Chains A and B, each alone.
Chain A
Amino acid sequence: MLFNSFAFALFLPLVFAAYWWVFRGLRAQNAFVLLASWAFYAWWDWRFLGLLLVSTAGDFLFGLRIHAAQDKKRRKAWLMASIALNLGLLGTFKYFDFFITGLADLLRSAGFEPHLPILGILLPVGISFYTFQTLSYTIDIHRRQIAPTNDPIAFAAFVSFFPQLVAGPIERARDLLPQFERSRVFDIDRAKDGLRQMLWGFFKKVAVADTCGGLAGAVFALDPASASSVTLVFGALCFAFQIYGDFSGYSDIAIGCARLFGFNLSRNFAYPYFSRSIGEFWRRWHITLSSWLRDYVYLSLGGWRDKGGRLRNILITFGVSGLWHGANWTYIGWGLLHGAYYIPSVVRGERQRSEHATWRDLPRIIALFVLVTISWIVFRSATIGDAARYLRAMALNARVRPWELFDWISLPVWIHVALMLGVEWHCVVNCMV
């Protein structure tokens, strides 16, 4: 079920009313949220509910086993079982064909004629998000950072909570699970703020992302060689605002929706396009994934105390981030490009800037935005070759007529983008965030 659908417009008020006025006890509310979340998920394809159930049941049991195991070896064995289950599901349903195709290409280049099976499975929606969420649960138990829950309903509701199930924020058990284990009271101010955040999210998705998306799609479908650089820059800008409006809009709707039900979800975006350095960008863009990768990939790699080790870990972590986004070399290329952007700040030993941006930071903000938009071209293209052609044409098919960016077709896009950036800039300079 999509947030911007007629079905959800009926689903949300019905679930909200029943949750607060029919199911009043904690266990009843949790059970009802769980059933509502499964219905929300099954709306796409009920068969994928099986994967969600396997992941939920597996990690609930593995969490208990890890905690109960007395010796280190057993704890590690149960953790490995959890990792194998989650990465096995992800590997099979998301990456199997990608790796098989890569292997077949490799064998072909070595002179073999391989006949390897291609599964052609439809990607189960949200699998990358909920597998990372459940993985963090068992890893944190293994690290003795949290204790497992004994309540299977609360745990299943934590994994399947419908506002954030299919596209995040990727929650940690220590933040969200306790919220399923204590009573919730309806708070009108919290609900009003949730509605405001949903409104902002819907605006970003419907008015910004969808209008930008149509134009970005049209430009990326062109043969770059036949398009002017102004058109190609316009397409890249449209995609930059599409992906921000789309994903941060989803996060805003999810967080606002959860607040209607008395839950606080983690912040996922903090005005990333007003960042002044790539490090700051990654502290503001998809925060829950970035912090997940920092805690469970970057820090787990070890050797990060010396500069060489840090550089290696950064490239690996950004490569994993790219691969997480999809089984395509363009995503890996996008991740590695961000890793390359990051390297100079590691070499120079730059420190985090905590104070908020001001007008004087505008040149740095624009320069960083240009770098990020170039990376979006790689991300959006079908292949690395397409991305290279797009970038080359953008540089060489120069017709310096910037006013072509502003015509009657693009005017609504710029008005919506200006409104979004204006409101968010107001927040950046007034909210100390």
Chain B
Amino acid sequence: MSENGNGCRVLLLTPPRGLWRGRVEKPLLWTQPLGLAYVAAAVRERGHTVAILDAYSLGIPRRELRRHLEEFRPRVVGVSALTPQWPDAEALLGLVKELDHGVVTVAGGPHVSALPRETVAKPCVDVVVVGEGEAVMADLCDAVAGGSSLEEIPGTFVGRGGEVTAAPPREKNQQLDSVPFPAHDLLPHPSSYNPFPSWGTGGTFSSIVSGRGCPYDCCFCEVTSQQGKRYRLRSADNVFAEMEWLYREYGVSVFSFRDPSMICSRRRLLELCEAIVESGMKIAWTCNARANEIGAEKLEAMKAAGCRLIQYGIEVGNAEMLLKIKRLTREEVAEAVTATRRAGISAHGYFIFGFLEDTRETIRETMEFSRQLDLNSAGFATMVPFPGTAEYERCRSHGLLLTDDWRDYSVSGRLVYRHRS
């Protein structure tokens, strides 16, 4: 935690699961809230006093939250939430306002970025940060500390007395190497996190992000609407420096790259793999990849550098739907999976049931395709039209959404849209 006489006290939180109903549960699986850790590092760099309370991972109940808030006495509270977490986030921000109405409450993350006006209209939310939060939040904290207006900061929606002020959008940072590493020192030690089994086990774990944006704009994914249609990549040196820092400082030996496709740049991938091999670090890592971007040269380098699992978003088995939804052919997918296995790397496939185009027959094709491929493992989920995705807009414009109770917008929740077939 940094201290500076001119800065303000900023508390960043993840919402504990079940807070909305007054019974908090600790999740079974949890990973570092990297978004908040990135924001914390950027805000701290401006001289503010920052703390992160990962209340979701730690399962912190209401009375404990209250104690933390009373002890820390923040002037700014920021909460980041995914769609099904939003009711808990709202309850959390309500608690903040209940304790001190003068605290500036800020909501961020993909859900509120997709629905900024609706969110900032809530009495417990003062500001919504749209998109990437580092620079916006840092400017916001500067404004709070300096007593200046919050309403002209690009990338924000500010609510005041029922009025909403939308500032211009924030330009996306094209120089990701300039972004400070996530503030892991403000989070629980990496060894206390418990990631999804397929993301990595067998050592101290950390997620890592090597780039932002995605040109493929899949209809069920909000990455493009949040991060833009261009890949913006950190350099191999910058990514390696973060990995080495986590390895030496925190003993992290298992990494999961959470980018949509960290393999998209051949040169950068080969440089990164070479740096890992030369360093002698004993690490394992997993990543997402697009089937049309993989190849023998990349796979060989990845295997040598410790890659043990590649997760492919395949989604459907029907050839037409695959081309439309993922811009992939069945042959590309099959070749990628086979090449991955041949390189000695495990291949995991993600599949989704319930696209609006899906019929009983296409779902059967998806099942068959998953079995025809030489995958080590597969995950199947029902389609959820998350706000910020094209599928959400399509369901909404056709009057197919059944609820706006965000708790149900989870792959294990009930169906939130009316399927046409």
Is B one of A's binding partners?
A: no
**Footprint of B on A, CB under 8 Å?**
none
**Footprint of A on B, CB under 8 Å?**
none
